Amino acid sequence: MNERPQQIPEVREPLPQVERAPLIAGNWKMNLDHLQAIAFVQKLSWGLKDVGHNYGEVEVAVFPPFTDLRSVQTLLAADKLSLSLGAQDVSPHESGAYTGDVSARMLAKLDVRYVLVGHSERRGGHGESPELVGEKARAAHAAGLVPVICVGETADDLEQHGAAAIPLAQLESALATLPSDAEFVVAYEPVWAIGSGQAATADQAEEVARALRESLRDLRGDDRAAATRILYGGSVSSQNVAGFLRQPNVDGALVGGASLKVDEFTRIVQFRKHVTAG
Ligand code: PGA
């Protein structure tokens, strides 16, 4: 009889226990002008104050269009609000003849902390390649911003390759150009769930988030894998957010449509109330 070496599945040590403060991020996309943005952020901060929200426990970020950033920054600074500011895109270049682009340094000057890279609406709608997504992440980091690397499979990908294969490949490619000490956030957003009203299940989100974290161990080592926040995005609402956040590898939500309704977004931020309520 042939003695074949058996495939022994790799059993890994558990990751070090690290507290990851959840991040609830509102991606406004191309909505709200700067006046509406000011009114919205004011209302949001009052609402969160009323419910005694602790920003140290759950970080809240808004990602307005470029034209709103200065107005929102001014408001956050004047009223000493603890909301974080994010941008929806960034140029891979430092400066120069790039008509229409906005550099990471310009964003950093506006106290922007996060920037989305690789959102499916940019990969798909603007033909952004995996290399370009990596370049944008690198440029963001170089200016002191934290890139939020968006990954996710289309419905076709899901059928052909399963849920995790494409997100894992996209993450690996985005990290290829990012220095090894860079802080980043990962947002898992199945393309079929974005804006469709058909969110992934909490189990589906956890399965891919877990695979992404395992891959981060290989790509960046255990400490970075344990510290990195992985968000779920795609039709998140106050009805389903608690289920996602209950998962051990889901550390927040990237919210599109529901982040434009101030009461609904306030409820989403308070997901802990739903979690403890079961
Ligand atoms: P959605 O969008 O919540 O409207 O599905 C999420 C996103 O595109 O980030």
Q: What is the CATH number of the domain that holds 194?
A: 3.20.20.70
Count other Cβ atoms within 10 Å, centred on residue 237.
Answer: 17
119 is catalytic: yes
Cα 226 to ligand 1 centroid, rounded to whole Å: 25
For the cut 50, the answer to whether the pLDDT of residue 120 exceeds it is: yes
Whether 160 and 197 have beta carbons less than 8 Å apart is answered as no
Choose the weakest-confidence range: 7-11, 13-17, 204-208, 228-232. 7-11
195 falls within a domain:
yes
151 lines ligand 1 (CB under 6 A): no
For the cut 60, the answer to whether the pLDDT of residue 6 exceeds it is: no
Identity at 120, one-letter amino acid code: S
45 lines ligand 1 (CB under 6 A): no
Mean per-residue pLDDT, 132-160: 98
93 is catalytic: no
1 falls within a domain:
no
If phi > 0 it is left, if psi is from -120 to 50 it is alpha, else beta; for residue 252 that is left
Choice from 27, 29, 30, 237 to test ligand 1 binding pocket (greatest atom count within 8 A of CB): 27
18 falls within a domain:
no
15 falls within a domain:
no
94 falls within a domain:
yes
195 lines ligand 1 (CB under 6 A): yes
User: Which pTM value belongs to this model?
Assistant: 0.95
**Structural domain that includes position 98:** 23-273
- Counted domains in the chain: 1
155 falls within a domain:
yes
For the cut 60, the answer to whether the pLDDT of residue 2 exceeds it is: no
Closest C-alpha residue for ligand 1 atom 7:
256
Whether 63 and 91 have beta carbons less than 8 Å apart is answered as no
Of 128, 135, 153, 189, catalytic: 189
User: Which of 173, 153, 188, 250 minimizes the C-alpha distance to 219?
Assistant: 173
17 falls within a domain:
no
Cα 239 to ligand 1 centroid, rounded to whole Å: 15
7 falls within a domain:
no
Q: Across all residues in the chain, what is the average pLDDT?
A: 95
Mean per-residue pLDDT, 217-244: 97
Nearest atom of ligand 1 to the alpha carbon of 237: 3
257 lines ligand 1 (CB under 6 A): yes
254 lines ligand 1 (CB under 6 A): yes
CA distances from 206 to 133, 159, 164, 202, 209 (A): 24, 18, 11, 6, 5
What percent of the chain has a predicted confidence (pLDDT) above 90?
91
Whether 86 and 24 have beta carbons less than 8 Å apart is answered as no
For the cut 90, the answer to whether the pLDDT of residue 102 exceeds it is: yes
- Residue 186's pLDDT is 98
Closest C-alpha residue for ligand 1 atom 3:
256
59 lines ligand 1 (CB under 6 A): no
User: Which of 126, 205, 178, 189 minimizes the C-alpha distance to 154?
Assistant: 189
Cα 256 to ligand 1 centroid, rounded to whole Å: 3
27 lines ligand 1 (CB under 6 A): yes
- Residue 10's pLDDT is 66
Q: Which residues, 6 or more positions from 23, have their beta carbon under 8 angstroms from its beta carbon?
A: 58, 59, 60, 61, 185, 229, 231, 251, 252
Whether 239 and 20 have beta carbons less than 8 Å apart is answered as no
For the cut 90, the answer to whether the pLDDT of residue 219 exceeds it is: yes
Choice from 254, 265, 268 to test ligand 1 binding pocket (greatest atom count within 8 A of CB): 254
